[in-house]
Amino acid sequence: MPLAVVILAAGQGKRMRSSLPKVLQPLAGRPLLAHVLETAAALEPAAIHVVYGHGGEVVREQLASAPVNWVRQAEQLGTGHAVLQAAPQLHPDQRVLILYGDVPLISAETLLQLLEGCGPDELALLTVELEDPEGYGRVIRDAHGQVQRIVEEKDASDRQRAINECNTGVMAAPARRLVQWLKQLRNANAQGEYYLTDVIAAAVRDGVAVNPLIADSEEEVQGVNDKVQLSMVEASYRLREAVALMEAGVTVIDPLRLDVRGKVEAGRDVMLDVNVVLEGRVKLGDGVKVGPNCVLRDVEIGAGTEIAANSVLEKSVIGAGARIGPFARIRPDSVLADGVHVGNFVEVKKTRLGAGSKANHLTYLGDAVVGAGVNVGAGTVTCNYDGVNKFVTTIGDGAFIGSGSMLVAPVSIGAGATIGAGSTITSEAPAGKLTLERSRQLTIEDWQRPVRKPKD
């Protein structure tokens, strides 16, 4: 049976106390709903339908590129009513998997296992056993262990509230049957809503098998209703990503202090120190070492490169055997070749540094093309911006740039050239020559430093 996924994402999320719709609250730098969509897409369904409501236009704008069918729930009358809004989009021969935009950690592996229990006359239900089930609907089984129905906590008796097997809301059902059950729902309950959970009792009444699957962990099915729960899910996500990296062979000094906010590809013997943040697509070659408090965003790092503490690298490529930091910033569109050294308080932006070149401290290299084996002294600045336009500085192989030099672009420094310390270079510096620019030094013999007058 082909698969359709319905994601319920219409909740307002009042407990978030935020103007941002609940499903757009960030988890690892992406909206909660984006995580659910990614998992749903991994199942390769025929269609994904997202039921939206509060703040729906904002949700659609932020996730405009997602290949989904948007279904509006104009009135929030319960989860059963929400799924019913998608019913016209469902083909009778499909299996329908129901997910939630605020349950972001559920895995594709669990869902595939759940779907095995769904057929033309079978409904699959994901449940979870909780030490503290307060707030959850309880799964009611008969004396033979067969699921009979789900009772929401507000409608449950004291005896039913003592049950610790709870409903996650995630289920899979044959579309033909599901639509029939949804149309039969009534709102005669404590909240006056059309509960999706009442579908379970309807299935039992019609002789359709209900196949329960108990989730492996509470964290996987944790919903997010407030900022406290959001932080708990964030912590679970961090640990899960850190464990996955460690299982792949990465040394993580403290898995509780690693933030993975994207996709990471790591070679052998990679080491990540504390408080490292990895965003976007990050590729780390064999033997890469990342020091504490570093941020790597959309970067590729070559084998054996070391990133020292407190450095920020984004949208750039670093070669093998390089040394970056501490306190270095590599800005977008930079390419650093093998063996490059970029030291403390050096900023590199849209610049190419050739093999073995060094800028060890207190330097800005922007819009520059730097050859191999170049030494850039402390305090050097490529003056690339005139207030309107950006200009390129070109430095040839083997050049030596003295400390405190201002290279006013557009300007070219020849191969093997030396720039004297403290120079402001505005014209071409020829290859193999010493070029310097300095004012004549003066000493004013009769000058006296101003003295502050005493107060009356």
For the chain, the residue count is: 456
Would you tell me the crossing angle of helices 175-183 and 79-86 to the nearest 10 degrees? Answer: 130
What does 366-401 look like in DSSP terms, one character per residue? Answer: ESEEE-TT-EE-TT-EEE-B-SS-B--EEE-TT-EE
* Active site amino acids: 361
d(CA 44, CA 33): 17
d(CA 173, CA 152): 20
Find out whether 229 and 222 touch, Cβ atoms under 8 Å: yes
Query: Which of 240, 282, 244 minimizes the C-alpha distance to 263?
Result: 282
Find out whether 103 and 221 touch, Cβ atoms under 8 Å: yes
User: Which residues lie below 8 Å from residue 313, measured CB to CB, with a gap of 6+?
Assistant: 294, 295, 296, 297, 299, 301, 307, 324, 328, 329, 330
DSSP state of 12: -
Distance set, CA 392 to CA 180, 265, 350, 366 (Å): 68, 33, 10, 8
For the chain, how far is it from start to end, CA to CA, in angstroms? 96
Distance set, CA 43 to CA 39, 71, 110, 203 (Å): 7, 20, 11, 25
User: Which residues lie below 8 Å from residue 19, measured CB to CB, with a gap of 6+?
Assistant: none
For the chain, how are helix, strand and coil distributed in percent, rounded to 5?
A: 20, 35, 45
User: Which residues lie below 8 Å from residue 323, measured CB to CB, with a gap of 6+?
Assistant: 305, 306, 308, 340, 341, 342, 343
Show the tokens assigned to 60.
């659609």
Show the tokens assigned to 404.
């405190």
